C-alpha cells in the first residue's frame, strides 16, 4: 500500500499527452481561452491566458495547480456559469460562447453537474428536496423528481438520511448529497471543484472512491480540480495549470507515483 501522505509524483519524461488526447472523442474542447477580470484603476487579472484543453468523453481528468492558477475560472466557463473574454468553449460540439442566456441555462441544468468544495446545499431544504430541486426545475413532476432523488441518495449511501437538513449531516454526507444533486438531470459531465478540500483524509478518500464508482455506473466524464494527490492515481489524465496556462498534460501512465516526500 502506498501511503498517500508520502506520494511523490515524478513525470517519467517530459512527453506531453496532447497528441493522444486530440485523437480521442472530445466532450469538452477549450480553445485558446482567455478570461480577464477588470480590477480598479484600469488594472486587470488574466485568470486564464490562452488556455487550450481537450477532454475525451468518459474520461476522468484531474486539474492540478496552485491556488489562484485559474482552476475555478476554467470550471465556470465549462459549466456555462461565465463566458470567456476570448476563445471558444465547446461542450458536446456546441460553442457555449455563442449561446443566448436561455440556451446556456439549459446547458447548466442538463449537461453539467457541479460539485463544490463547500457543498452549496440549500440550508432550509432536506437532502431529498435538495436533490429533487434541479429535476423540478428541468420540468419533472414533484413525484417523479422525488422518486429519482431517493434512488440517487441511495446510490450515494444516504438512503437513511433523506429527510435531514444539511446542518444535521456531516461534511462528507453533505458532499454525498451534493454529488447526488449533481447527477439529478443525467448530465454527461461532472465538474468537481476541489470536492475533498473541506474534508478529512479518510472522508476525502471515500468521496473520491464514490465519484469514481459513479462515473463508471452513470458513464459521465469526470473533471476534478484538486490539490489532492490521491486523486491522480484514479485519473486517466492530469492537467497541470499555472498562471492561467496549461503547463503540462499527462496520461496517468506517464506519471509515476512513488513513496517519498513531495
Ligand atoms: N471575480 C473575480 N474578480 C477578479 N479576480 C478574480 C475573480 N475570480 C478569480 N479572480 C482571480 O483570477 C485568478 C484565478 O482564480 P481562480 O480561478 O479562482 O483560481 P483557483 O481556482 O485555481 O484557485 C486569481 O488571481 C483570482 O484572484
Ligand atoms: Mg478554485
For ligand 1, atom 7, the nearest C-alpha belongs to 37
In a domain, residue 143? The reply is yes
For ligand 1, atom 11, the nearest C-alpha belongs to 47
In a domain, residue 94? The reply is no
pTM: 0.88
In a domain, residue 238? The reply is yes
**Cα→Cα distances 33→48, 78, 88, 153, 208, Å:** 7, 11, 6, 36, 29
In a domain, residue 160? The reply is yes
Mean pLDDT of 66-85: 95
**pLDDT of 171-200, one tens digit each?**
999 999 999 999 999 999 999 999 999 999
- Taken in order 50, 37, 227, 261, the sign of the CA dihedral is positive
Given a cut of 70, is residue 18 above it in pLDDT?
no
Domain range for 190: 4-17+57-83+100-259
Residue 234 pLDDT class (50, 70, 90 cuts): confident
Neighbours of ion ligand 2 (CB under 5 A): 71-72
Residue 21 pLDDT class (50, 70, 90 cuts): low
φ, ψ for residue 41, nearest 5 deg: 50, 40
Q: Please list every protein residue whose CB sits less than 6 Å from any atom of ligand 1.
A: 37, 45, 47, 65, 67-73
Least confident of 79-93, 132-146, 228-242: 228-242
Domain count, the chain: 1
In a domain, residue 49? The reply is no
In a domain, residue 44? The reply is no
Distance of CA 259 to the CA centre of its chain: 27
In a domain, residue 111? The reply is yes
The enclosing domain of 153 has a CATH number of 3.40.50.300
**Cα→Cα distances 47→22, 50, 54, 84, Å:** 24, 10, 19, 10
In a domain, residue 33? The reply is no
Amino acid at each position: 500500500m502506498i501511503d498517500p501522505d508520502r506520494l511523490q509524483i515524478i513525470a517519467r519524461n517530459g512527453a506531453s499527452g496532447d497528441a493522444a488526447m486530440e485523437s480521442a472523442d472530445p466532450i469538452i474542447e477549450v480553445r485558446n481561452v482567455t478570461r480577464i477580470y477588470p480590477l480598479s484603476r484600469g488594472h486587470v487579472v488574466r485568470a486564464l491566458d490562452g488556455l487550450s484543453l481537450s477532454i475525451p468523453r468518459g474520461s476522468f481528468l484531474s486539474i492540478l495547480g496552485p491556488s489562484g492558477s485559474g482552476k475555478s475560472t476554467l470550471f465556470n466557463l465549462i459549466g456555462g456559469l461565465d463566458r470567456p473574454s476570448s476563445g471558444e468553449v465547446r461542450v458536446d460540439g456546441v460553442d457555449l460562447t455563442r449561446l443566448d442566456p436561455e440556451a446556456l441555462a439549459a446547458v447548466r441544468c442538463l449537461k453539467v453537474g457541479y460539485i463544490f468544495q463547500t457543498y452549496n446545499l440549500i440550508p432550509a431544504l432536506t437532502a431529498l428536496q435538495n436533490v429533487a430541486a434541479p429535476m423540478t426545475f428541468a420540468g419533472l413532476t414533484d413525484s417523479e423528481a422525488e422518486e429519482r432523488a431517493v434512488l440517487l441518495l441511495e446510490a450515494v449511501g444516504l438512503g437513511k438520511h433523506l429527510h435531514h437538513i444539511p446542518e444535521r449531516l456531516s461534511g462528507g454526507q453533505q458532499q454525498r448529497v451534493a454529488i447526488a444533486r449533481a447527477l439529478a438531470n443525467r448530465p454527461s459531465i461532472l465538474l468537481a471543484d476541489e470536492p475533498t478540500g473541506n474534508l478529512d483524509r479518510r472522508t476525502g478518500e471515500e468521496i473520491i472512491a464514490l465519484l469514481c464508482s459513479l462515473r463508471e455506473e452513470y458513464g459521465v466524464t469526470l473533471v476534478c480540480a484538486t490539490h489532492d494527490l490521491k486523486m491522480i492515481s484514479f485519473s486517466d489524465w492530469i492537467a497541470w495549470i499555472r498562471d492561467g496556462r496549461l503547463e503540462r498534460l499527462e496520461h496517468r501512465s506517464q506519471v509515476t507515483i512513488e513513496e517519498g516526500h513531495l
